[in-house]
A and B are shown apart, each in its own frame.
Chain A
Amino acid sequence: MRYIPNTKADKEEMLKEIGVSSFNDLLKDIPEEVMLKKTLDIPTLSEEELTEKIFKISKKNLGFRFFKPLIGAGAYRHFVPEAVKAVISREEFYTSYTPYQPEISQGNLQSMFEYQTHLSRLTGMDVIVPSIYDGASATAEATLMAIRLTHKNKVIISPLLHPHYAETVRTYTAPHQTEIHIAEYKNGLSDLKSIESAIDENTAAVIVQSPNFFGAIEDIESITRIAHKKGTLIIQVIAESLSLGLLKSPAEMDVDIIAGEAQSFGMDLNLGGPYNGYLGSKMKYIRQIPGRIAGETTDKNGRRGYVMTFRAREQDIRREKATSNICSNHALNIVAGNVYLSLLGKNGIKKIAELNIKAAHYLRTKLIETGKFSGFKYPFFNEFVLEVKDKEKIKDQLINNGFIPPFDLGIYYPELEGHMLFAVTEILTKKELDFVVNLLER
Chain B
Amino acid sequence: MKLIYEKSKKGRHGFSLPEDQFKEINLKDCIPQYAKEEKEKELPEVSEVEVIRHFTKLSKLNYGVDDGLYPLGSCTMKYNPKVNEKLATIDSFVYAHPFADEKYIQGSLQIMYELGELLSKITAMDKFSLMPAAGAHGELTGVLMIRKYFEDRGEKRHKMLIPDSAHGTNPASSAMAGFKVVEVKSNERGGVDINELERLMDEDTAGLMLTNPNTVGLFDENILKIAKIVHSKGGLLYYDGANLNALLGIVRPGDIGFDVLHLNLHKTFSTPHGGGGPGAGVVGAKSHLVEFLPSPIVCTDDGKYFFEYPKKTIGRVRAFYANFPVLVKAYAWILSVGGEGLREVSEASIINANYILDKLKKYYRPAYDRICMHECVLTGREYKEYGVKTLDIAKRLMDYGFHPPTIYFPHFEPYAEETIMVEPTESESKETLDEFINAMIKIAKEAKTKPELLKGAPHNTPVGRLDEVKAVREPKLHA
Provide the B266-283 mask, 1 if CB < 8 A to any CB of A, else 0. 100010111111110100
Q: Which of A199-207, A227-235, A297-305 participates in binding chain B?
A: A297-305
B55 CB to nearest chain A CB (Å): 4
State the CA gap A122–B27 with chains docked (Å): 19
Query: Within 8 Å of chain B (Cβ to Cβ): is A327?
Result: yes
B70 CB to nearest chain A CB (Å): 7
Query: Within 8 Å of chain A (Cβ to Cβ): is B245?
Result: no
Give chain B residues whose Cβ lies under 8 Å from the Cβ of A245: 41
- Which among A275, A299, A333, A342 is the interface contact of B465 at CB below 8 angstroms? A299
CB–CB B64/A94 < 8 A: yes
Give chain B residues whose Cβ lies under 8 Å from the Cβ of A27: 219, 250, 350
State the CA gap A84–B247 with chains docked (Å): 37
Provide the A28-40 mask, 1 if CB < 8 A to any CB of B, else 0. 1111001110011
Given the known inter-chain contacts A134-B133, A246-B31, A430-B21, please indicate yes or no for A103 contacting B462, CB distance below 8 A.
Answer: yes
Provide the A60-91 mask, 1 if CB < 8 A to any CB of B, else 0. 11111101010101110101010100110111
Query: Within 8 Å of chain B (Cβ to Cβ): is A136?
Result: yes
State the CA gap A99–B99 with chains docked (Å): 35
CB–CB A57/B110 < 8 A: yes
State the CA gap A434–B107 with chains docked (Å): 32
CB–CB B59/A93 < 8 A: yes
Give chain B residues whose Cβ lies under 8 Å from the Cβ of A114: 3-5, 479
Query: Within 8 Å of chain B (Cβ to Cβ): is A415?
Result: no
CB–CB A342/B251 < 8 A: no
Q: Which of B75-83, B229-237, B443-451 participates in binding chain A?
A: B75-83
State the CA gap A343–B332 with chains docked (Å): 33
Give chain B residues whose Cβ lies under 8 Å from the Cβ of A193: none
Query: Within 8 Å of chain B (Cβ to Cβ): is A157?
Result: no
- Which among A64, A75, A144, A222 is the interface contact of B91 at CB below 8 angstroms? A64
CB–CB B64/A345 < 8 A: no
Closest residue to A427 on the B side, CB-wise?
A: B18
Q: Which of B425-479 contact A (CB under 8 A)?
A: 426-430, 432, 456, 458, 461-468, 470-472, 475-479
CB–CB A274/B133 < 8 A: yes
State the CA gap A240–B121 with chains docked (Å): 40
State the CA gap A104–B398 with chains docked (Å): 8
B38 CB to nearest chain A CB (Å): 8
Given the known inter-chain contacts A93-B59, A319-B172, A328-B279, please indicate yes or no for A41 contacting B45, CB distance below 8 A.
Answer: no
CB–CB A81/B97 < 8 A: no
State the CA gap A135–B320 with chains docked (Å): 10
Closest residue to A67 on the B side, CB-wise?
A: B95
CB–CB A6/B250 < 8 A: no
Given the known inter-chain contacts A14-B351, A171-B316, please indicate yes or no for A3 contacting B427, CB distance below 8 A.
Answer: yes
Query: Within 8 Å of chain A (Cβ to Cβ): is B388?
Result: no
Give chain B residues whose Cβ lies under 8 Å from the Cβ of A81: 14-16, 48
* 5 sample A-B contacts, Cβ–Cβ < 8 Å, listed by A number: A30-B250, A31-B221, A55-B90, A270-B325, A347-B13
